[in-house]
Amino acid sequence: MNVGSLAFLYPGQGSQVPGMLHDLPDYPAVKLTLDAAADIAGDIDELDSVVALRSSSNSQLALLICGVAITQAFTEDLDIRPEIVAGHSVGAFAAAVAAGVLTFREALDAVRLRGQLMDQACASGQWGMAAITGLRLRQVRNLLGTLDIDSDHLWIANINSDDQIVIAGTAAGLSSAGQAARRAGARQFQPLDVDIASHGPLQRKTASALAAHLADIPLRTQSAAYFTNTGARRILNDARLVLDDLAQSVAQPVHWYDIARLLPEFGVTVAVQMPPGHVLSRLAHTAAPQLATLSPADEGVPRTVARLGR
């Protein structure tokens, strides 16, 4: 495989699977990362259990640990480093560690706080998220505009592809949107297995508190470029903008489709999705067919490394 610039992609909540930490490959850097996580966050033996992953806070922590552990295997044990990183939602924190903006401890502390604040924001009422497949962004915007629902109760949360849009809001708002989406010709309206509503106005206080928390982080020189969730901007040599994105993106839509389309324009020829799963790599290849995408979760790390030819 002809590898130009290499990108590492980090999935967000919804990608978690039971056993994801226990199934990580046996590399020295993985063990060191898991040991460090236990020292910082406490016992993580049950963090990836079915019961534990029902909690949004636990899911976010597990995804961060998983992403950082496998990245450490690539960078420290295999000497494979990305030129660009991008994370979807909470995956951005693992991306920020890979870019040298956050330490692992700083990321763990921030993600733990983020999860707690998001839960608190959703403590009153019933909230959730759902994916609409088969309608374009303009159609979904028009559809939501026809509903007699306040924008604080229903909003666009993620633009994942040209025809997959994730919305978030109250249970009643999502129900109305689901009926309207089906009438408009959506192929699928799929509620997500989350008990929170993120990337919208409900999380404004979360964003403000995160910004205050991250304001104390030292500004470091990036080791890789970072794509923002909020505007699909490539950031290099400006750690403050990365930290701003980590804070503000919880209250703003994730522009994953734009990120994926822009990767080749910045020289990326291969994108590797860090475990778990392969959703981001498939979305990236759909958005940019010229992009080669790999997923160690599907083919294993040795096969991924062999295909990279590094």
Percent of the chain as helix, strand, coil, to the nearest 5: 45, 15, 35
Contact criterion met (CB below 8 Å) for 120 and 182? no
Is 213 considered catalytic here?
Answer: no
Run of H or E residues at 72: helix 56-72
Residues 6+ apart with CB under 8 A from 29: 69, 72, 73, 75, 76, 77
**Candidates 15, 89, 176, 249; catalytic one:** 89
Distance CA 115, CA 60 (A): 7
Cis previous bond, 302, omega within 30: no
Beta strands in 12-163 (DSSP E): 84-87, 127-133, 154-161
**Candidates 88, 153, 199, 255; catalytic one:** 199
Contact criterion met (CB below 8 Å) for 111 and 34? no
Contact criterion met (CB below 8 Å) for 144 and 154? yes
Distance CA 153, CA 134 (A): 23
Which is it for the CA torsion 290, 291, 292, 295, positive or negative?
negative
Is 255 considered catalytic here?
Answer: no
Contact criterion met (CB below 8 Å) for 174 and 191? yes
End-to-end CA, the chain: 10
Instruction: State the catalytic residues.
Output: 89, 199
